[in-house]
């Protein structure tokens, strides 16, 4: 599998992943006390961090999108 996620995309995904994990586990907001929102945000946050780390987005592969200049 080739990489298809560029630098700016990776930084935004990592930031979103960290924010979602923070909201899910440490924010204390009433919305995130519900299990659906809490664990949903955690799962999406983990996926965002994984795609950022691996430089690979499965949806980008399906649709043929590449945000990196070198690949």
Is 64 contained in some domain?
A: no
**pLDDT number for residue 9:** 95
**pLDDT number for residue 1:** 74
Is 45 contained in some domain?
A: yes
Domain total of the chain: 1
Is 67 contained in some domain?
A: no
**pLDDT number for residue 42:** 98
How many CB atoms within 10 Å of residue 66? 16
Q: What is the mean pLDDT of each run of 10 residues along the chain (71 residues)?
A: 91 98 95 95 97 94 91 75
**pLDDT number for residue 66:** 94
Full domain range(s) for residue 50: 7-54
Is 20 contained in some domain?
A: yes
**pLDDT number for residue 70:** 82
CB 61 within 8 A of CB 5: no
**pLDDT number for residue 21:** 97
Is 62 contained in some domain?
A: no
CB 57 within 8 A of CB 51: yes
């Amino acid at each position: 599998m080739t990489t298809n996620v560029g630098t700016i995309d990776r930084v935004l995904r990592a930031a979103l992943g960290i924010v979602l994990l923070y909201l899910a586990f440490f924010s204390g907001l009433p919305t995130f006390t519900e299990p659906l929102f809490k664990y949903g945000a955690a799962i999406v946050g983990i996926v965002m961090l994984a795609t950022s780390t691996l430089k690979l987005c499965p949806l980008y592969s399906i649709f043929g999108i590449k945000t990196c200049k070198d690949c």
